[in-house]
A and B are shown apart, each in its own frame.
Chain A
Amino acid sequence: MVARSTRSLLPYILITPPIILVFGLIFFPAAQSFVRTLTGVDGSFSFERYLEFMNDRSSVTSLIFTFQVTFLSLIGLFAICYPLALYLRFSNSRVAYWAQMVALLPLFVPGIMSAYALIRFFRGRGLLETIIYQLSPVLSETYYSPYVKPEGIIIGSIWESIPFTVLVLLAGLRQVESGLIESAQDVGASRWTIFFQIILPLTRRAALIAFCLNFIAIFGSYTIPYLLGPAAPQTLGVLMQRTYQEYAQPLQAETQAVITFAVCALVGLLYVRTVSSQRTGRN
């Protein structure tokens, strides 16, 4: 009797520590911040902090800029990773094996190191321009360095996110059964038909997962935009740090953080829906 009741309690006992951790370290402080940002100077409910944010030119510019950088990075990321994942899924060659190894490499490089490596690679007189110069000195005159430019953040974010995206897309593609494709081929479906009618719909979920998680990571990132991005405009992560530390305005920084969190939470919701529809088998 005792043993049985302990056993039935066991799952709850096991999940208690993570729940305490998640609520104590994430939900509770986040809720506190949220309430604080909705409290006016006189202690009553007020939107004044958010109005202040919306009326501040550099905050709004930063919000828009963060969206732009995130979306452009995601477009670039999918343009590179989807074809790559397709190739890795359907090729059994040795080259594919090595390509996968190389694609996963950034996973093992800490962000700050890849940022410095990229700076040395693509800044003026960096490795890339030197190579171009060796090939054609005239061409190197037109070299455009993305260092300390918005393009720097986009390239850096793409570079950092490639391994994860390839892994998720590849996992999705592996779930597409080869038999399905072979039977389509047998009835004479063209490559494009197979791609658009079978592969794309079946990998939609994997793509959504990759989209959501990358969006959240890039939207809130700090190291890459700080080291590779321009002084103005800056992404929310960098602005937040500057507001908190340099201007010593923790309340404004908190408002920026809540806005960032809210955007990411919306995308997180999309992720949760995508994953749970997979669990319940609904599409």
Chain B
Amino acid sequence: MRTSKFVLRLALLGVVVMLALGISVVSAQEPSIINLYSSGDTNITDWLQNIIIPAFEAEYPQYKVQFTNSRAAGDEPIIDRAMAALQTDDDPQVEVMDIDPRGFGASVEAGLWYEPTVEEIPNLANVIEAAQVTPLAASYRGSQVLIAYNSEVVAEEDVPTTFAELIEWIKANPGQFVYCRPDRGGSGGNFVRRAVYEVSGMDPAVWTPEFNQELVDEFYPQAMALLQEIHPFIYDDGAYPAGNNPVLELFASGEVSMISAWSDQAIQGIDRGFLPETTKLLQFTDLPMPGGYTMLAIPKNAANLKGAQDFVNWFLSPEAQALVVEVIGGFPAIAWDQLTPELQERFNSVITDNVPTWPGGDYNPPLTELWYETVATNIDPNS
């Protein structure tokens, strides 16, 4: 009796010791967490989760990237939380966000964002000048919105080469063109912004990042009038789908023969056979549709700031940048000549250095609002 009790106690003690040892060993090896948030389309979030994060973790085993898809809830609540944490000196529970901080004015005013430096993120030196759009974040990939059309349906001689020609083409081919709601996808948003450029003298330099109400008052109604002109000729008497992907689906099913689309999504779609083989891409010769650089922003109160810096630094290495081009058909944030010649050759058709960047920020809400109130409803903006 006594001996068995003693043995039992010994065994129990042994278990406890081993558990304790085990836990301490595990905790010694436990990689530090980098919380990454992205609200990108599925092609982006899939790529981050399945390609980028595993590649990074393989190279930096000391880190574990915890990915959260914020598409449904939006990035706003995460930023709000980080701002609240900044005030109370708490952990914001976020290290890296796949956003442009300039779109979140309050957070910029609150000084939430860490400004990346070459000392802390050496590969930042590789980033080309066109991609350096804000000191608040590090651009890591670019894309542009272009026109995709089905060459089986649209005759080569009818293909528009300027925005004005596209307007004419849309009117001549009712129901054959569609773009998405401007706030629900950049392919629609940048189409609407291109209309703004069209009525403001096709000079993107006018639209500087400092918000100017006069520009809005002068040009937005004109742009809306232009979009209203084509409203009755848009797919299904002016039906605007709720995102980039629904537009691609309408195009893939043959419902429409011309759309505005993100370069990366269109290239990927053609590569994977989701879009017809006869799909062709074009960019306006007078002034391309805006595109832009997508960036990684780091809140300066991030608990794992070093991890965030290492992640961004790795993302800007030529190896990771090749994954931008190869896997999602985007353009790199570093110079093309740092990539392999094969890659440069393959993506010849989309390499461009003349993509205007829309300033965004405070310019967006009134544009979206006016679009919904006047174009989608087809009500005169001046009434």
Q: Please give the residue numbers on chain A whose beta carbons come within 8 Å of chain B beta carbons, in ascending order.
A: 57-58, 61, 119, 123-126, 145, 147-149, 226-227, 230-234, 242, 244-248
Contact across chains for A231 and B254 when beta carbons are under 8 A apart: no
Question: Closest chain A residue to B374 by CB distance?
Answer: A232
7 A-B contacts (beta carbon < 8 Å): A57-B373, A123-B253, A125-B255, A148-B240, A149-B236, A226-B242, A231-B376
Contact across chains for B377 and A232 when beta carbons are under 8 A apart: yes
Contact across chains for B183 and A242 when beta carbons are under 8 A apart: yes
Which A residues lie within 8 Å of B369 (CB)? Answer: 247
Is B76 an interface residue, CB under 8 A from the partner? Answer: yes
Within the complex, what minimum Cβ distance (angstroms) separates A146 from chain B? 10
Whole-angstrom CA separation of A227 from B239 in the bound complex:
12
Known: A57-B373, A232-B372. A126 touches B241 (CB 8 A): no
Contact across chains for B253 and A126 when beta carbons are under 8 A apart: yes
Contact across chains for B236 and A148 when beta carbons are under 8 A apart: yes
Which B residues lie within 8 Å of A123 (CB)? Answer: 250, 253, 255
Which B residues lie within 8 Å of A245 (CB)? Answer: 74, 76
Interface bin, chain B: 20 to 34
Within the complex, what minimum Cβ distance (angstroms) separates B173 from chain A? 15
Query: Which of A58, A125, A145 is within 8 Å of B254, CB to CB?
Result: A125
Whole-angstrom CA separation of A276 from B250 in the bound complex:
50
Question: Closest chain A residue to B253 by CB distance?
Answer: A125
Which A residues lie within 8 Å of B253 (CB)? Answer: 123-126
Question: Closest chain A residue to B240 by CB distance?
Answer: A231
Contact across chains for B236 and A58 when beta carbons are under 8 A apart: no
Which A residues lie within 8 Å of B377 (CB)? Answer: 58, 61, 232-233
Within the complex, what minimum Cβ distance (angstroms) separates B152 from chain A? 15
Which A residues lie within 8 Å of B242 (CB)? Answer: 148, 226-227, 231
Known: A126-B253, A231-B372, A233-B377. A149 touches B364 (CB 8 A): no
Which B residues lie within 8 Å of A230 (CB)? Answer: 239-240, 376
Contact across chains for A58 and B255 when beta carbons are under 8 A apart: no
Whole-angstrom CA separation of A270 from B368 in the bound complex:
38
Query: Which of B74, B183, B241 is within 8 Å of A148, CB to CB?
Result: B241
Which A residues lie within 8 Å of B239 (CB)? Answer: 147-149, 230-231
Within the complex, what minimum Cβ distance (angstroms) separates B366 from chain A? 9
Which B residues lie within 8 Å of A247 (CB)? Answer: 365, 368-369
Within the complex, what minimum Cβ distance (angstroms) separates A25 from chain B? 16
Q: Most chain-B Cβ atoms within 10 A of its Cβ — which of A119, A148, A244?
A: A148
Whole-angstrom CA separation of A61 from B368 in the bound complex:
17
Known: A232-B377, A245-B76. A58 touches B250 (CB 8 A): no
Which A residues lie within 8 Å of B368 (CB)? Answer: 242, 246-247
Question: Closest chain A residue to B76 by CB distance?
Answer: A245
Which B residues lie within 8 Å of A248 (CB)? Answer: 76, 105, 365
Is B181 an interface residue, CB under 8 A from the partner? Answer: yes
Q: Most chain-B Cβ atoms within 10 A of its Cβ — which of A57, A231, A242?
A: A231
Which A residues lie within 8 Å of B373 (CB)? Answer: 57-58, 232
Within the complex, what minimum Cβ distance (angstroms) separates B360 from chain A? 12
Contact across chains for B183 and A246 when beta carbons are under 8 A apart: yes
Which A residues lie within 8 Å of B255 (CB)? Answer: 123-125
Chain B 247-263, CB-CB to A under 8 Å as 1, else 0, gives 00110011100000000
Contact across chains for A124 and B183 when beta carbons are under 8 A apart: no
Give 5 nearest A-B pairs by CB, closest first.
A232-B376, A148-B239, A231-B376, A231-B240, A246-B183
Whole-angstrom CA separation of A25 from B377 in the bound complex:
37
Which A residues lie within 8 Å of B365 (CB)? Answer: 246-248
Whole-angstrom CA separation of A234 from B373 in the bound complex:
11
Q: Which of B358-383 contact A (CB under 8 A)?
A: 364-365, 368-369, 372-373, 376-377
Q: Most chain-B Cβ atoms within 10 A of its Cβ — which of A226, A227, A230?
A: A230
Which A residues lie within 8 Å of B254 (CB)? Answer: 125
Question: Closest chain B residue to A58 by CB distance?
Answer: B373
Whole-angstrom CA separation of A61 from B377 in the bound complex:
11
Q: Which of B214-250 contact A (CB under 8 A)?
A: 236, 239-242, 246, 249-250
Which B residues lie within 8 Å of A58 (CB)? Answer: 372-373, 377
Q: Most chain-B Cβ atoms within 10 A of its Cβ — which of A119, A232, A248?
A: A232
Whole-angstrom CA separation of A119 from B368 in the bound complex:
25
Within the complex, what minimum Cβ distance (angstroms) separates A117 from chain B? 13
